[in-house]
Amino acid sequence: MKKAFMWAGANVDVMVAVTLAVVILILDFTGVTSAKIVQSATMATLAVVAIVLLRERVRGDGQGQSVLESVGETHRRLDRLTDEFQRRPEVRVISGSEANRVLEEARRETGRWVFRGATGAYVRAVTLPECVRAARPHRRRLDFRLEILDPSDPDLCEEFVGLHRRMAVGTDSPERSWTVRETRRELYATILAACWHQQRYELLDIDVRLSASYSLLRYELSSSCVIFTQRGPEFPAIVIAGGTPSYLCWESELHVSFQQARRLRLHDVKGLPLGEEPAPDEIRALFQGLGIELPADYTDDDLVGIRRLALESSDPYADQNSA
């Protein structure tokens, strides 16, 4: 052990150079980089060069040359990463079918997700469970933020449904069949799903806000990018790379919007257990604890239907993605 410490002390420059080279290799192979990371790595490279030159003068044993060669290779990789980053478009428009792939990549390693939209059907069915599934094996903390329409405001839901009906392209467009009742059921299901997943993954920090306004766009922000989508894959989507000025601008915008929406105190209902298939009584108690009054005419069958929407929904755009 003593010899190991002595070797490490005598070859600190080698260790630093090797570590830096490994980090740059990982960044190079995975493509995970940003302007800030490249700048920091460049500064670290220059620091290693300075250390090597100073130690070379003191030792005069020629060992620093090999280290300098390693650092030089690392610096060349950094230059290539810098060029790639500068060529990468900050904002790009992707086809509808490609949006599914971009969303999948964004979910894979992210530790945060921010959603602002309407009912959150896709987030409920795909994004939230897949992000939890990816985080669980690594015991990774996951911050999840959802801003959806307020289901306790039927007038707002009616305005939302009416807008999309009026914008429907044809008589057979799916928007034509939308109803206020079904829209509210979708919203209740998204809230139920958020609470259910929160109780099953301790490191999931989920926050749900209810908005008094609606938008034609859906905003999805992960650690790597922010994605603007519309109704489904048949529409084009916009992707903004993470760490860019535009990304930071929209990150702030979503934060401000989130703070203005009504917060549901999900942590207050963590003590109300939800079974693997929550019973109607459990669902009623949950919404009562959240301060959300369910419609008086909801029967147990209605609540079972909401549970199925919350926990058994498939990708609502699966057919369109494969088309």
Structure tokens that stand for 269 in this block:
């209902």
Within 13 A of 78's CA, how many CA atoms are on the CB side? 22
Amino acid at 119: T
Helix (H, G, I), strand (E, B) or coil at 26: helix
Nearest to 214 by CA among 261, 172, 255, 144: 261
If you average pLDDT over every residue of the chain, what do you get?
A: 80
Q: Is the pLDDT of residue 7 over 50?
A: no
> How far apart are alpha carbons 99 and 239 in whole angstroms?
9
> How far apart are alpha carbons 140 and 142 in whole angstroms?
6
> How far apart are alpha carbons 86 and 217 in whole angstroms?
28
More confident residue, 127 or 9: 127
pTM, two decimals, is 0.72
Q: Is the pLDDT of residue 8 over 60?
A: no
Q: Is the pLDDT of residue 272 over 50?
A: yes
Residue 235: the pLDDT is 78
If you write DSSP's letter for every residue of 277-316 in order, what string do you get? S--HHHHHHHHHHHT-PPPTT--HHHHHHHHHHHHH---T
Nearest to 278 by CA among 183, 198, 184: 198
Exposure string of 272-305, with b = 16+ CB inside 10 Å and e = fewer, is: bebeeebebebbebbbebbebebeeebeeebbeb
Residue 5: the pLDDT is 46
Q: What is the pLDDT of residues 201-213, one digit of tens each?
A: 999 999 999 999 9
C-alpha triplet 82, 86, 88: angle, nearest 5°: 115
More confident residue, 215 or 168: 215
The torsion angle over the Cα atoms of residues 312, 314, 315 and 321, rounded to 10 degrees, is 170
Amino acid at 31: G
Residue 20: the pLDDT is 55
Q: Which ranges in the chain belong to alpha helices (H)?
A: 2-10, 12-30, 35-59, 64-87, 96-108, 121-122, 128-135, 154-166, 180-198, 245-260, 280-290, 300-312, 318-322
With contact defined as beta carbons under 8 Å apart, do 238 and 92 qualify? Answer: yes
Is beta strand 204-211 parallel, antiparallel or unpaired with respect to 262-264? antiparallel
With contact defined as beta carbons under 8 Å apart, do 233 and 92 qualify? Answer: no
More confident residue, 164 or 17: 164
Radius of gyration from C-alpha coordinates of the chain: 25
Q: Is the pLDDT of residue 183 over 90?
A: yes
Is beta strand 204-211 parallel, antiparallel or unpaired with respect to 142-149? parallel
